[in-house]
Structure 1
Amino acid sequence: MIDFEQLTRNMKGDVMTDSLHQMIYATDASAYREMPLAVVYPRDASDVKECIKFARKNGITLIPRAAGTSLAGQVVGKGVIVDVSRYMNHVLEINEKEHWVRVEPGVVLDELNMRVKSLGLFFGPETSTSNRCCLGGMVGNNSCGSHSLVYGSTRDHLLEAKVILSDGEEAWLKGMEKDEVRDKMTEDTLEGKIYKCSVEMLENNREEIIQHFPDPALRRRNSGYAIDQLLYSDYFDVAYEGKFNLCKLLAGSEGTLAFVTELKLNLVPLPPKEKAVICVHCRTLEEAFEGNLVALKHHPVAVELMDQNILELSKGNIAQNKNRFFVQGDPAAILIVELAQESREKVDQVADQIETDMKMHGYGYHFPRVYGSDISRVWSLRKAGLGLLSGMPGNAKPVSVIEDTAVAPERLPAYMKDFGEMLERLGLKCVYHAHISTGELHLRPVLNLKDENDRVLFRRVAEETARLVKKHRGSLSGEHGDGRLRGEFIPLLFGEKVYGLMQETKVCWDPEGVFNARKIVNTPPMDTSLRYEVGDSDVACRTYFDFSKEKGWLCAIEQCNGSGD
């Protein structure tokens, strides 16, 4: 029996062990569900240290959590949930001159951007959950966003991080010169051991790592531990990109290596005010995949895709139906091409070039341009995609299983051809949307996870897609991470040797498994601990009104038939 009263006495924050909190935190935005032991709300770094001490003493794992918007089960597990969003949510310092900010991990992205907007600055990577996702979670998942074509990922803007290591000691991770790294490697501390393990691993396996990691041209990649990113530094002189900085590895590590208590992040100037969006209506999905390459030649700031499924669902949503003002007919997909220039004249000039180029290739049948405040309405429709998909009538839903694969943009048409052939062979439908400009499409096959046959397909789709991603030198995850969902297939993607290096990385940083165990490496089968049990759809539901369409229930006796019984 674990004595949580002891933890309560030693902390300033809150410790909750009641069933209500356990149930609330048993899920995130993924398809997984596991009951945690407790939920803790730390107030500061000293509370985090108490949690680590408690976890080591009791042989349990801590699961760092913020808003819980993760889609791969990153913050679901049987350990203790440590939620930083309640108290550790302060902006600590803003440096206007040097364009950086220092924050606690529970700061919400939109709130930070509102604070620095008056300075002409913002945090470049943005997500569709920007009004609730926290910066600590963005680091954990290496989040990107619609404008990653310009601003890259969170990893690109993570300068420094204050963390608590698994032995309870504090470390400040930042860029270091060669001599500083060598000095760290001699220290008789866990931090020193981490530097020593990291450097020696890279020195001994350099060629193997370069060979088996995704195509370097792919900017969106977040599978496994990003050990290859440490090579791109002045320490190793491989495509030099700056000082040796363990933050490169921390980003995308999903809270499995250390507990973040402070972040120093790069800020960028607000984009040019003159913008326009060209909404290219495509007759087929294949047309959209090829049209994306045409649009990229003209240096847009973003290219996003919405397929026919999302557009159709938006008709039944009161708010989003009003945002369909630019849609003509029933396109198979719409490419949202955003431009940003210093003047309207330059915006229109580039827009003319794109439209002419598209027509020359035979792509698109309608090219409406949207300006001013109406642009936000277009993006609102695009960002509503996930919510609209969740409301698809019936038990079968577009599920998050392969929604985050990414390949280099020029490889995307060939990859999607192979993917389409796989879907046809398996008899599945799929929803396509999101970040086509960077080679990442959120692909959501329509499956009923309450049905035994579809649960088998859930796994089969994941494994076959992993093989396709490997064939095209892509990444299983572009931004959503591995978590419980994709960890099982990391050995397939990288090979056993490189996967073994990732396991060594976890053991080096966290030898006792204090942080978020069984994520990224050593994960359980991806089709275990799902939210739904087989046969849930057969539960009789006698209601006065017919909610079968809204809630996806199927009545066992009369199959509802619109009767409301």
Structure 2
Amino acid sequence: MLPAPYDRLHAALREFMPAERLITDPLRTLAYGTDGSFYRLIPKIVAVVEAEDEVVRLLHACRTLKTPVTFRAAGTSLSGQAVTDSVLVLLGDGWRGCTIPPGAATVTLQPGVIGAEANRKLAPFGRKIGPDPASIATAKIGGIAANNASGMCCGTAQNSYRTLASMRLVLADGTLLDTGSPDSRKAFAVSHGALLAGLSDLALRTRADEKLAERIRNKFRIKNTTGYSLNALVDYEDPVDILQHLLIGSEGTLGFMSEITYNTVPEHAHKANALLIYPDIGEACRAVALMKPTPVSAVELMDRASLRSVDGKPGMPDFIGGLGPDASALLVEIRGEDAAALQANIAAVTNVLAQTRTLFDVAFTTDAKAGESYWKIRKGLFPAVGAMRKAGTTVIIEDVAYPLDRLAEATVELQAMFLKFGYTEAIIFGHALEGNLHFVFTQAFDTDEEVDRYRRFMDAVCDQVVRKYDGSLKAEHGTGRNMAPFVEMEWGSQAYGLMKEIKALLDPEGLLNPGVILNDDPEAHLKNLKAMPAAHRLVDTCIECGFCEPTCPSHKLTLSPRQRIVGWREIARLEATGADAERLGALHDAYDYQGIDTCAACGLCSTACPVGIETGLLIKAIRGDRHGAVAQGVGSFIANHTAGALSVARTGLRLADLAKRTLGNDTADKLFEGLHSLTGERLPHLPRALPTAASFTPLPAAAPADAPTVVYVPSCVSRTMGPAADDPETTPLPVKVEGLFRKAGFRVAYPDNLSALCCGMPLESKGLAAQADAKAEEMVRAIRAASGNGTAPVVIDTSPCAFRLKKHLTDAGLQVLDLVEFIHDQLLDRLVFTKQEEPVVLHLTCSTRRMGLDGKLKAVAAACAERVVVPEDVGCCGFAGDKGFTRPELNAHALRHLTKDIPADAKSGYSTSRTCEIGLSDHSGMPYRSIVYLVDARSTPKASAPATKRVSEPAF
């Protein structure tokens, strides 16, 4: 039951929003209400809005019932600005618009566009958006603008405030203003003349006070997101321009930005990076000051503790571990519009660096992979510290800025403060070129003493930053709840009074994100602190940053990886404390479907997680824990009778195919769906692109005596599932693969007892780890014998199976290859290709991506076709082995954007997993099949690689 007035608000929202987008259950309000900060508030209602009109009507309803409302984009916020115990408004799929005019001098973006996606669309024009936060691969434009987020390279010149061209905004009273439309501005001047007059008066008074105006200008010469963007009052005279620039950095407390147009900035393709090591932080900071006037793009400072937290990680030099206790590093990036300009800039910076004392020679590299590895480490420093923390503690990141000429002494003082207050694990890093430092430490909030330690430390930090150095308490992470009690301390009462007047003008009832930026409670930063109890060793290092969310196929359908961890932590906490049995039961009931059943367990989340957490492993472990003796016994029986189980599956496919042929596709599909529903979804959903049954019998083949041998292991899926009934291709995959290998001049060998072999993937996905590993070991023994103890390569035709076996394999002598890997490395040079004009649509499976073979798959496709298309909004397809049969909504959700990127003249798609191809065919309206079919169709053997023929064909 919702408390009043939320029950009345829910009813009002139901008048224009469907019930499924108004979330009130205990699991999702907890999970959806979590952001990247260390604060916990649980919303009463989570409203998922899909259009501007819904925002307008929602604000009207909230205003009528005096109900506070908070807007959320990606929820990577670190200062508590995106949590609420009232109404939380999330962006649905309807906010992903991106318009790029000719020349790309500007870009118009809706708030749901991820920053990195915007840059990918701008990349062909050599442009990008100015803001470049470390979270850009996850953070959305709405949050980037609302927090005036900056980052590594943008400094103060290219943030949202400085690159804003225009925006569409919705005020607290539901009024819409398009600042880029003269007509909208005129109408607004009529309807809101008093508001504009109030803003003009504020600006006139501010500019008239020369001392105040100059203080504001000085405060924004370094990075500053503490409080409101008061520079709008001195930078602009037109009240509409003042208004739209006040919205930047306002953290949803002044209005909602439904669209923003940025002036884009150049993205130079030519880059060079260097990791410079200095004997101490003072020398490093001196180097920063010397580089400030040079053509350098970014300088990132990392103290010794930072380097220690990433020691031994891929991409970091081996010498990191042997550095002295005071050593510091600078990660420097230089860019140029062409190669010559880059070299000239490198020379200029190198000349300056010659005046500094480094521990190693200064060496810039233009190798893109090396540069990416450096920056990946830098961007992962915050989560890396979080991963090292003690279970039950929270990781906190603070974000300050000092005048550059005093950066060194301020940094040394910070290090001393860490020791004084017992934060021995704290690290310092940041955007040194702007005097902007981040410091990260871990903190428990489970006792009054620990909370008091945090309070005393924050008081000391604020005193140092403000009173001694007149710096910024929040340089780029936003004020939030974290620094709201200290805004007046930083700015002074006069400037703080301006901020209160701005809030009163734009949100007179105080309903937009109350408690954020302006907060009269001096202890607001010490309240509603988020506990991080131990839940499971597989995910205890998670800091809930949300970087994983864009990769997850169930995100926005049920839960994302972050949200699954949040939910399981709460379940574990309640189980450990024995508190609130009713809530625990409700969470368990909801988690069965939201958390467990709809998890694809694809592992893509681990590729985005800075510390490599794979949430799917947690879900598999939970599935395993739920299995009783009967389930374990069934799993063991299937593992011991694989050939029989596959035979039963083939029989089912034959019966389904017979029904389709007898009744017709439409009638059969309705019958199957009816049975699926009538049985409470116990009978599987049978998609329209259901495979026909296939079987495969290996036979010896004639081959020249000197032909190279390859051991081919058709997966159990490809041995069982043939092409769909309506696919023009009728040859089963194993026959096609065998033929291709022989065309390239290989002798094809098979392991013994093939019909009983399986890598164990289906069992692993059900949480039957012991049975799955036993099957994998059985396959390893078979391929070891067939390959002559690794003399010949072993090729598996399905990427998920190849990936599982590679992970399981401990025998370095065995050479297990994915089919794509083998085609790319061994067959491309042995075949002659003729490219087709028809575009090829490619799906990169999760396993392909995780094995790092997506580049090779694209290269193979490019050898066969003039044009290769990879739909940009499709990651994991969500079929997830058998989830396409048992939870078809997951597959449908994951592929909801598939068709928009498929060219009209494309006739087929290609991938490397038969089960993925079922769902892709079903939702695209065209057949998807293995890449082998394309390679075989577009290739002929070279004279030096004589084709061999199959002695006889198998019976099907």
Aligned to 1:563: none
Give the TM-score normalised by the residue count of structure 2.
0.52
Counterpart residue number, 1:500:
497
Please give the residue correspondences for 1:316-355 in structure 2 after superposition, counting only pairs within 5 Å: 321-325=313-317, 328=320, 329-330=322-323, 332-344=327-339, 346-355=341-350
- Structure 2 residue 525 is the aligned partner of structure 1 residue 529: no
- Following superposition, the deviation at residue 111 of structure 1 comes to 1.3
> Is 2:38 the counterpart of 1:31?
yes
Quick one: distance in 1 between partners of 2:111 and 2:539?
Answer: 40
Q: Does the residue aligned with 1:22 lie in a helix, a strand or coil?
A: helix
RMSD of aligned Cα (Å): 3.1
SS in 2 for 1:499: helix
Structure 2 Cα separation of the partners of residues 81 and 502 of structure 1: 24
* Aligned-residue identity in percent: 24
Q: How does 1:420-499 map to 2 (within 5 A)?
A: 420-429=415-424, 430-470=426-466, 471-499=468-496
One-letter code of the match for 1:137?
G
Q: Distance in 2 between matches of 1:119 and 1:248?
A: 27
Cα distance in 2 for residues equivalent to 1:398 and 1:352: 44
Q: 2:55 aligns with which of 39, 48, 51?
A: 48
Which residue, 367, 384, 401 being the options, matches 1:372?
367
Distance change >3 Å, CA 298–CA 36, structure 1 → 2? same
Q: Which residue of 1 aligns with 2:85?
A: 78
Q: Please report how far the alpha carbon of residue 516 of structure 1 lies from its aligned counterpart in structure 2 after TM superposition.
A: 0.8
Aligned to 1:223: 226
Mapped contact 2:222–2:401 kept (Cα < 8 A): no
CA contact (8 A) 1:389 1:397 kept: no
Which residue of the other structure, out of 90, 114, 117, is the alignment partner of 2:120? 114
- Decide whether aligned partners of structure 1 residues 184 and 463 sit closer, same or farther in structure 2, where only a CA change above 3 A counts: farther
**Aligned letter for 1:408?**
P
* Counterpart amino acid of residue 416 in structure 1: T
Alpha carbons 2:111, 2:258 under 8 Å: kept: yes
Residues 447-504 of structure 1: CA distance to partner in whole angstroms, max 9, x if unpaired? 3333433321222222222222223222111111001000100011111222122111
Matched with 1:155 is 161
1:41-190 to 2 correspondence within 5 Å? 41-91=48-98, 93-97=99-103, 99-149=105-155, 152-173=158-179, 187=189, 189=191
Q: Where do 5+ consecutive residues of structure 2 fail to align?
A: 544-568, 577-956
C-alpha change, 1:546 and 1:499, in structure 2 (3 Å) is closer
Conserved? CA contact 1:310–1:388, under 8 Å: no
Structure 2: which amino acid aligns with 1:115? K
The structure richer in helix per residue is 2
- Partner Cα separation in structure 2 for residue 151 and residue 209 of structure 1: 22
Measured after TM superposition, the shift of residue 147 of structure 1 is 0.7
Distance of 2:420 and 2:126 partners within structure 1? 51
- 1:477 partner letter: K
Segment of structure 1 superposing worse, 354-363 or 438-447 = 354-363
Distance in 2 (alpha carbons) for counterparts of 1:113 and 1:121: 7
Distance 1:464 1:228, change over 3 A: same
**Cα separation, 2, equivalents of 1:26 and 1:480:** 19
| Cα distance between partner residues in 2 of 1:167 and 1:217 | 30
Alpha-carbon spacing, 1:163–1:342, altered in 2? closer, same or farther (3 Å): closer
Query: For residues 21 and 200 of structure 1, do their structure 2 counterparts lie closer, same or farther at Cα, with a shift above 3 Å needed?
Result: same
CA deviations 1:217-237 (Å, max 9, x no partner) are 63411111112333113569x
- Kept in 2, the 8 Å contact 1:397–1:447? The answer is yes
Tell me by how many angstroms 1:511 deviates: 0.9
Between Structure 1 and Structure 2, how many residues are aligned?
A: 528
Distance 2:187 2:385 in 1: 49
Give the deviation of 1:31 after TM superposition: 0.5
Normalising by structure 1, we get a TM-score of 0.85
Change (3 A) 1:115 1:211: closer
Which residues of 2 match residues 249-398 of structure 1 at below 5 A?
249-271=246-268, 273-315=269-311, 321-325=313-317, 328=320, 329-330=322-323, 332-344=327-339, 346-373=341-368, 374-395=370-391
**Other-structure match for 2:850:** none
Aligned partners of 2:220 and 2:288: how far apart in 1?
A: 16
**What letter corresponds to residue 223 of structure 1 in structure 2?**
T
**Aligned amino acid, residue 227 of structure 1:** L
AA aligned to 1:164 is V
Aligned amino acid, residue 133 of structure 1? A
| Counterparts of 1:211 and 1:452, CA distance in 2 | 42
Q: Check the 8 A contact 2:220/2:231 in 1, yes or no.
A: no
In structure 1, the residue corresponding to 2:218 is in which secondary structure? coil
Deviation at 1:44, TM superposition (A): 0.6
- Provide closer, same or farther for how the CA distance between residues 489 and 216 of structure 1 changes in structure 2, counting only shifts above 3 A: closer
Query: What whole-Å deviation, never above 9, does each CA across 1:49-88 have from its counterpart, x for those lacking one?
Result: 1211221122111111010000000011112111115332
- The question of whether the paired residues in 1 share the 8 Å contact of 2:217 and 2:231 is answered with no
Secondary structure in 2 matching 1:160:
strand
Cα displacement string for residues 122-177 of structure 1 (whole angstroms, at most 9, x for unaligned residues)? 1121111111110010011001111124852111112111111111111123599x
